[in-house]
């Protein structure tokens, strides 16, 4: 069984907080994925990167996410969209980590670069 296959079996959900959310321009990447619901995660903080947000593993008052059930193909496509490098996760644009949501464990993409000059999204919703 390949690495991607093990990943999706371990965690068949994704928590999205930016352009993949309903009504946003990249939501079509989740076509056919059932929405399990929303959550407000205190384990991440959102930053405004201009055309999209980035999440960092920092405590916050809460960041709003949508949680979807996904399949292997969708995970592979999301990895491409997010610039995730499975062989060197900290070298891609985003790293993929598992976070606990009210809908179970879910993959979430965390921004790898520094956010010294980016604006904090204080209300937790982009």
* CATH number reported for the structural domain that contains residue 9 in this entry: 3.10.490.10
Domain boundaries, position 86: 3-120
In this prediction, residue 3 carries a pLDDT of 59
- The answer to the question of residue 91 being in a domain is yes
Task: Please list the rounded mean pLDDT of every run of 10 residues in the chain (126 residues).
Answer: 61 95 97 97 97 96 97 94 94 95 97 95 94
- The answer to the question of residue 125 being in a domain is no
- The answer to the question of residue 53 being in a domain is yes
- The answer to the question of residue 109 being in a domain is yes
In this prediction, residue 6 carries a pLDDT of 62
Q: What is the pTM of this model?
A: 0.91
Residue 54 phi/psi, 5-degree rounding, is -135, 140
Residue tagged active-site, from 58, 66, 73, 82? 82
Residue 118 catalytic?
no
Quick one: tokens of 108?
């979430």
**Coil, helix or strand at residue 45:** strand
- The answer to the question of residue 84 being in a domain is yes
- The answer to the question of residue 50 being in a domain is yes
- The answer to the question of residue 126 being in a domain is no
Q: How many CB atoms within 10 Å of residue 77? A: 14
In this prediction, residue 5 carries a pLDDT of 56
Domain count of the fold of the chain: 1
Going by C-alpha positions, the residue among 27, 16, 124 that lies closest to residue 67 is: 16
Q: Do residues 91 and 102 make contact, with C-beta atoms less than 8 angstroms apart?
A: no
Quick one: tokens of 120?
């904090």
């Amino acid at each position: 069984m390949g690495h991607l296959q093990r990943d999706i079996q371990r965690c068949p959900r994704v928590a999205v907080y930016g352009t993949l959310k309903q009504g946003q321009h990249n939501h079509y990447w989740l076509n056919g994925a059932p929405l399990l619901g929303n959550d407000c995660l205190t384990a991440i903080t959102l930053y405004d990167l201009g055309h999209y947000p980035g999440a960092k593993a920092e405590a916050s008052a809460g960041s709003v996410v949508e949680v979807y059930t996904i399949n292997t193909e969708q995970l592979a496509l999301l990895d491409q969209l997010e610039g995730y490098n499975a062989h060197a996760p900290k070298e891609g644009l985003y790293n993929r980590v598992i976070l606990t949501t009210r809908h179970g464990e879910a993959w979430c993409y965390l921004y790898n670069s520094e956010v010294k000059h980016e604006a904090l999204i204080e209300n937790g919703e982009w």
